Amino acid sequence: MTQVVSATTRFAKRLWVDGAVRRAARAAVVAPSVFAIGLEVVGNVSVGTFAIIGAFCQLLLVEFGGPMRERIQAELGLIAAGGVLIAIGTLVSPHVWLAAPIILLVAFLIVFSGVVSSVLASASVSLLLAVILAVSLPAGADQVIPRLAGWGLAAGAALLAVRFLWPAPTRDPLRAPTVAACRALAETMHAGAAVWRGGGPSPAEHAALVDRADETVQALHRGFLAAPIRPTGLTTSARARVRLIDELGWIRDITRHHAARAAGTEPAAAAKEAAGDLLDAAADLLENPDATADALHAAQRRLDAALGRMGRAVTSNPVPGAGRATEFVSALEPSFRVQEMAYAVRLVARNVDLSVAAERRTWLQRALGQQPGGLAGPFATARERALAHLQWHSTWLHNSLRGAVGVAAAVVVVHYTGVQHSFWVIFGALAVLRSNALATGQNAVRAMAGTVVGFVIGAVILIGIGTDIDVLWALLPVAILMAGVAPALISFAAGQAAFTVTLLILFNIIQPAGWQLGLIRIEDIAIGVGISILVGLLLWPRGARKELRTALADAYDSSAHYLRAVVAYAALCCDGAARPPPPTAEAQRSAAAARRLDDTFRTYLSERGAKPKPLPEITSLVNGVAGLRIASDAVLDLWQRDDQSPGDRAAARSLLLRTSRTTERWYADLAASIGADRPAPAPQPPDLRADSRLVEALRGDLSGGDGSTAVRVIWTADHLDATRRLETTLTRVDDRS
């Protein structure tokens, strides 16, 4: 019994923290209050109706996260946008020839804007509901002011409720898992450095540490993918922190792949330990953002110094004679792995530093758009994210068009059929539209079932109490509370049932009509879901399944092209001549393709029905894109330094370019095989003489010339070799799929 009570208490607490019960309770207090003010005090039905629907939009259907200041700003943005949409919807409502195309455009912009930010995505249903209500109740221009007055009444009450009525705790779902991942990976680095020095944990204990770090990073990644939209907004701190997901995953892959490798030198062990210290410092700052960043910066300087000592130790080793070049390159491998790991750790530290610095900005600095570290501003980021999805194969574009066409079609249908409550038709069409026809059909069945159940419950209530207005007013808060809680506690169908009961009570308060009003709602919902099913069948009925293959193929193709462009940049830099411009355009195309892949994958995960391929394998293919892009970024960072010297390294440059071309061709073939749903190409066979040729091409530098540039050339080849090793992993995954 005690365990049952404890479990129930934990469940109730989770519902309160997650917001379902809190939002419903807050709406149950505010919505009837503003409805009563509009209907009974002001004496205007439009004011009362838009006040209560406004309370639903601003309190029940959305809850913004983050600090209170950011929540209030988001609420103000929702209020302003909703007011504009209500005005537009009211003005066009009498003219279907004007309303339909305008609603098509407005609905598309509302849904598509969600790709820019999770804040905009979470507000999309509220904004759509506001404009749908305005369009579905035809009125003249004289009704704009009363409707805006009702919306404004709800806005004032909502702002007070958000601030003072059970305010939500400040939550950052990614911060704690990110801190845990940083600490777990840092622990493996410290243990690995100790092992290299001849001490530390046993092999079994070290393997357990690596496994624990692997699971911690996987948990972070699962949390990141749990939502159908990225859990990040346009704020600078959120944009900086979201980059940590891929970076920590890359560190995890390096640690896991090389956990049992041969021991490194003392300088390499010292650099590895310094990388662990920097990752620990990043975790400390992320966990305590009010602390200064001095410890982080000091750890960064220690890592840079350790990397410098490691580089000098590498170039001081004598170059073996012909035939032993492979041994020389193998001796460089531990230092390369540390350099590879240190690059990723420095990225993590930089993004944590930027995130915390952004959170500390003053109100004026935020208002002026001042960005720490030269990051792009939110408007530039929003433009970049939107343009990434203005591609015909973008799933987000498909979903936006599908939703907009469904709403616009419903506007036309209700105009020509003359239904009594057109709002229910349009909202019913919107409520069940999903990314594929199967999901839309399943939602349609649940919506109809829920509506019928709600009608039966509402009819029993209305038959029992008649049209006693006082009792209806008393039941309204209870009905709103259940409408808010039922979807989270029970199901979508239960939410539809509770919402039907709420509307029956609401419209009987405005104009008593008895239980027969429920029959009208069933009829209107049936029309709405019929429109949704038709639209779902006509517009991309298969959802994200096919588009996921397209997005994967596009991401691999553009990332491979970016890798080749980066190696070409490195080849030009290694001669020490005038520095060429970095491959910015290729980097942007690769990032845009990766963004489309991420959003398509989320849509695919959220769709119901059987998955034709196992999710772990598909996730590995998605993660492979991140690995390819980060390897390219690492090569770019390697050559964006100013300490290379002139020299004739044509032979080495030719080797790098040839390897990059063959690697690009393989990934292009992989992309084509994914797009055509055929087996992946066989991985390239290892080139056993590649190391020897590269060392011979750089012998002059290694024997007394510019050893640091030569080592960088070898490390570039190592990055290419890492992408070629990834081929084997991806081939195994694709074959199992």
Judged against a pLDDT cut of 80, whether residue 567 lies above it is answered with: yes
199 and 137 inside one domain: no
Judged against a pLDDT cut of 50, whether residue 110 lies above it is answered with: yes
More confident position, 532 or 164: 164
Mean pLDDT of 588-617: 75
This prediction has a pTM of 0.74
Nearest CA-CA partner of 52 in 467, 476, 466, 455: 476
Q: Is residue 392 part of a domain?
A: no
188 and 323 inside one domain: yes
More confident position, 669 or 703: 669
- Token readout for 247 is 């970076």
pLDDT at position 150, please?
A: 93
pLDDT at position 363, please?
A: 47
Nearest CA-CA partner of 703 in 327, 316, 310: 316
How far apart, in whole angstroms, are the C-alpha atoms of residue 309 and residue 557?
38
- Token readout for 679 is 């087996």
| Residue tagged 């539209």 (tokens) | 433
pLDDT at position 608, please?
A: 59
pLDDT at position 647, please?
A: 63
369 — pLDDT class (breaks 50, 70, 90): very low
- Token readout for 557 is 């193709």
322 and 421 inside one domain: no
Judged against a pLDDT cut of 80, whether residue 278 lies above it is answered with: yes
Mean pLDDT of 611-639: 79
pLDDT at position 17, please?
A: 45
CB neighbours (10 Å) of residue 726?
19
Neighbour-count burial of 585, counting CB atoms closer than 10 A to its CB (0-12 exposed, 13-18 middle, 19+ buried): exposed
pLDDT at position 155, please?
A: 92
Number of domains observed in the structure of the chain: 4
Domain of residue 65 covers 18-169
pLDDT at position 293, please?
A: 84
More confident position, 314 or 218: 218
Q: Is residue 259 part of a domain?
A: yes
- Among 515, 541, 567, the domain boundary falls at 541
Q: Give the 3-state secondary structure of residue 289.
A: coil
CATH number at residue 330: 1.20.58
306 and 415 inside one domain: no
Nearest CA-CA partner of 53 in 142, 136, 121: 136
- The four Cα atoms 551, 553, 557, 558 give a dihedral, to 10 degrees, of 0
- Poorest-confidence range of 119-133, 254-268, 469-483, 555-569? 254-268
More confident position, 689 or 247: 247
218 and 352 inside one domain: yes
For residues 544 and 600, the answer to whether their CB atoms sit within 8 Å is: yes
The crossing angle, in degrees rounded to 10, of helices 584-606 and 203-225 is 80
Distances (CA, A) of 638 to 268, 308, 612, 634: 18, 13, 41, 6
Mean pLDDT of 205-214: 86
Q: Is residue 366 part of a domain?
A: no
User: Helix and strand tally (H, E) in the chain?
Assistant: 28, 0
Q: 418 CB contacts (<8 Å, ≥6 apart)?
A: none
pLDDT at position 87, please?
A: 93
Q: Is residue 388 part of a domain?
A: no
pLDDT at position 269, please?
A: 84
Mean pLDDT of 669-698: 77
557 and 659 inside one domain: yes
pLDDT at position 558, please?
A: 93
pLDDT at position 612, please?
A: 59
- The four Cα atoms 294, 298, 304, 310 give a dihedral, to 10 degrees, of -160
Judged against a pLDDT cut of 90, whether residue 594 lies above it is answered with: no
pLDDT at position 682, please?
A: 83
Q: Is residue 454 part of a domain?
A: yes
How far apart, in whole angstroms, are the C-alpha atoms of residue 382 and residue 450?
38
Q: Is residue 384 part of a domain?
A: no
Q: 11 CB contacts (<8 Å, ≥6 apart)?
A: none
- Read off the pLDDT of residues 291-317 as tens digits, 9 standing for 90 and up: 888 888 899 899 888 888 887 776 666
How far apart, in whole angstroms, are the C-alpha atoms of residue 40 and residue 275?
67
- Poorest-confidence range of 32-46, 282-296, 323-337, 609-623? 323-337
pLDDT at position 511, please?
A: 75
pLDDT at position 11, please?
A: 47
Mean pLDDT of 604-617: 65
**CA-based torsion, 104, 109, 110, 115: positive or negative:** positive
Mean pLDDT of 153-179: 82
How far apart, in whole angstroms, are the C-alpha atoms of residue 427 and residue 524?
10
Judged against a pLDDT cut of 80, whether residue 168 lies above it is answered with: no
Q: 214 CB contacts (<8 Å, ≥6 apart)?
A: 252, 256
Q: What residue type is 578 in one-letter code?
A: A
- Among 120, 144, 169, the domain boundary falls at 169
253 — pLDDT class (breaks 50, 70, 90): confident
- Token readout for 620 is 């590995």
The crossing angle, in degrees rounded to 10, of helices 422-432 and 437-465 is 140
Q: 469 CB contacts (<8 Å, ≥6 apart)?
A: 509, 512
How far apart, in whole angstroms, are the C-alpha atoms of residue 488 and residue 501?
17
Whole-number average pLDDT of the chain:
77
How far apart, in whole angstroms, are the C-alpha atoms of residue 229 and residue 227?
5
Highest mean pLDDT among 34-48, 348-362, 621-635: 34-48
599 and 552 inside one domain: yes
For residues 620 and 674, the answer to whether their CB atoms sit within 8 Å is: no
For residues 77 and 159, the answer to whether their CB atoms sit within 8 Å is: no
Q: Is residue 369 part of a domain?
A: no
- Poorest-confidence range of 85-89, 171-175, 250-254, 427-431? 427-431
For residues 433 and 480, the answer to whether their CB atoms sit within 8 Å is: no
225 and 129 inside one domain: no
pLDDT at position 234, please?
A: 43
Nearest CA-CA partner of 410 in 436, 432, 430, 435: 430
For residues 273 and 344, the answer to whether their CB atoms sit within 8 Å is: no
153 and 242 inside one domain: no
Nearest CA-CA partner of 129 in 115, 111, 117: 111
More confident position, 541 or 388: 388
Tell me the CB-side half-sphere exposure of residue 34, using CA atoms within 13 A.
31
For residues 70 and 34, the answer to whether their CB atoms sit within 8 Å is: no
Q: Is residue 698 part of a domain?
A: yes
Judged against a pLDDT cut of 90, whether residue 145 lies above it is answered with: yes
- Among 326, 344, 360, the domain boundary falls at 360
pLDDT at position 493, please?
A: 76
SS (H, E, C) 167-196: CCCCCCCCHHHHHHHHHHHHHHHHHHHHHH
How far apart, in whole angstroms, are the C-alpha atoms of residue 35 and residue 48?
5
As a whole number of angstroms, the longest Cα–Cα distance in the chain is 101
Neighbour-count burial of 228, counting CB atoms closer than 10 A to its CB (0-12 exposed, 13-18 middle, 19+ buried): middle
**CA-based torsion, 51, 56, 57, 58: positive or negative:** positive
The crossing angle, in degrees rounded to 10, of helices 690-697 and 707-736 is 160
How far apart, in whole angstroms, are the C-alpha atoms of residue 190 and residue 269?
9
Neighbour-count burial of 292, counting CB atoms closer than 10 A to its CB (0-12 exposed, 13-18 middle, 19+ buried): exposed
Distances (CA, A) of 168 to 162, 229, 252: 8, 21, 34
More confident position, 257 or 166: 166
User: For the CA atoms of the chain, what is the radius of gyration?
Assistant: 30
Q: Which long-range contacts (CB under 8 A, 24 or more apart) does 116-121 make?
A: 116/234, 116/382, 116/385, 116/386, 117/232, 117/233, 117/234, 117/382, 118/227, 118/229, 118/230, 118/231, 118/232, 118/233, 119/64, 119/74, 119/233, 119/234, 121/229
For residues 724 and 688, the answer to whether their CB atoms sit within 8 Å is: no
Judged against a pLDDT cut of 50, whether residue 129 lies above it is answered with: yes
523 and 618 inside one domain: no
- Token readout for 188 is 């493996």
pLDDT at position 420, please?
A: 62
497 and 570 inside one domain: no
- Token readout for 38 is 């509009």
- Token readout for 528 is 């709405």
662 and 699 inside one domain: yes
How far apart, in whole angstroms, are the C-alpha atoms of residue 710 and residue 701?
6
CB neighbours (10 Å) of residue 126?
21
pLDDT at position 489, please?
A: 77
The proportion of the chain whose per-residue pLDDT surpasses 70, expressed as a percent, equals: 72
